[in-house]
Amino acid sequence: MQRIKALFFAACLAVAGAAQAEKVTIAAAADLKFAMDEIVAHFRAENPKDQVEVIYGSSGKFHTQVQQGAPYDLFFSADIGFAEELVKSGHAASNVMPYALGRIVLWSPTLDASQMTLASLADAKISRIAIANPKHAPYGKRAEEALRAMQLWDKVESKLVYGENIAHTAQFVQTGNAQVGIIALALALNPALAEKGRFYLIPEHLHAPLEQGFIITKRAAGNAAARRFADYMNSKPARAVMTKYGFVLPGETLGQ
C-alpha cells in the first residue's frame, strides 16, 4: 500500500511538472525529417526548459488535422498554400512565414542517378518509379509537373508507385522496391541516404516553385515557446542547417 501511494504521488508530481514546462508540438512536412531534427537539437541546447516534439507526415494531412483541432502548435507545410488556407480560415495565430524553397531530385541506391536525367525514366530497364502522391503531397505534385513538362508522364505513368508522403516515397526506393524515386533534395542529402546513392537535381524551371511556409496555430497563440521556436527558424544555426539540407532560404538563391 505504501508503495502504491508513493507511486501515485510520484505520478502526480510528474504530471504537475509537465504542465508547468513550456511545450511545443510541431507538425512538419516529411521532407524536413532530418533538417528539423537537427534544428530542434540546437534549439533545445539553447532553450533547455522548452520541450519540443515533432511529428512528421504529409502536409495535406496536417492541414486537415489542424482544421479539426489537432494539438499542434506550429505547422511547417511543404506547400505554402496549405499554410495560407489555414490563415484564411482563421486557424492560425500568425501570418504565413515562408521558410524555404524545396527542390526535387532523382535518387536511387542501385543506379547512379547522377548520370541520369528525367528522360532516363522511360528506359525499359526501369520498372518501378516512386513518387509522392500528387493528389495531396506537394513533392508529388511537383514531380508530376516535371514529368509532364518533359512529356514523360504518359510513358512512365504505368511504372509509378505512390508514397503517402515524401519520406515514405524515399523508403520505397531505399528498400529497393522501386529502382528510382523522385524525392526531396533535403532527404537525398541526409547522410543515411547520401551514403547509399547519388542524385540528379531536377531543373527548377520544370515545375512550380516548392514554396514552403509555416504558421503558429490558433491554439498556440499564448505559447511563448512556440513563438521562440518560430523566431529561432530565422537564427544563424537554423538557417545553416536548412542550407546544409539543400533548402533555398527566403531572400537567397541556390548557391551552386
Partner 1 sequence: MLLTDADLEAIWLTVRLAGITTAILFVLGTPVAWWLARTRSVWKGPIGAVVALPLVLPPSVLGFYLLLAMGPNGPVGQLTQALGLGTLPFTFWGLVVASVFYSFPFMVQPLQNAFEAIGERPLEVAATLRASPLDTFFSVALPLAKPGFITAGILTFAHTVGEFGVVLMIGGNIPGVTRVASVQIYDHVEALEYLDAHRLAGVMLVFSFLVLLALYAWRPNARK
Residue-level length of the chain: 256
User: Minimum CB separation from partner 1 for residue 176, in Å?
Assistant: 4
In angstroms, give the least distance from the CB of 88 to partner 1. 13
CB of 85 to partner 1, least distance (A): 9
Cα–Cα distance between 24 and 144 in angstroms, integer? 34
Site for partner 1 in 195-254 (CB under 8 A): none
Q: Which stretch binds partner 1 (CB under 8 A): 8-16, 161-169, 187-195, 203-211?
A: 161-169
Among 98, 162, 198, 206, binds partner 1 (CB under 8 A): 162
The single residue among 105, 160, 180, 216 that binds partner 1, judged by CB under 8 A, is 160
Q: 200-205: long-range contacts at Cβ-Cβ below 8 A with a sequence spacing of 24 or more?
A: 200/105, 200/106, 200/107, 200/113, 200/114, 200/115, 200/116, 200/117, 201/103, 201/105, 202/103, 202/104, 202/105, 202/106, 202/118, 202/146, 204/103, 204/254
Does the protein bind partner 1 through residue 89 (CB under 8 A)?
no
Give the separation between CA 88 and CA 71, rounded to whole angstroms.
Answer: 19
Residue numbers 53-72 binding partner 1 by CB under 8 A: 58, 60-61, 63-64
User: Rounded CA gap, 151 and 163, in Å?
Assistant: 22
Residues that bind partner 1 (CB under 8 A): 58, 60-61, 63-64, 127-128, 130, 133, 135-136, 160-164, 172, 175-178
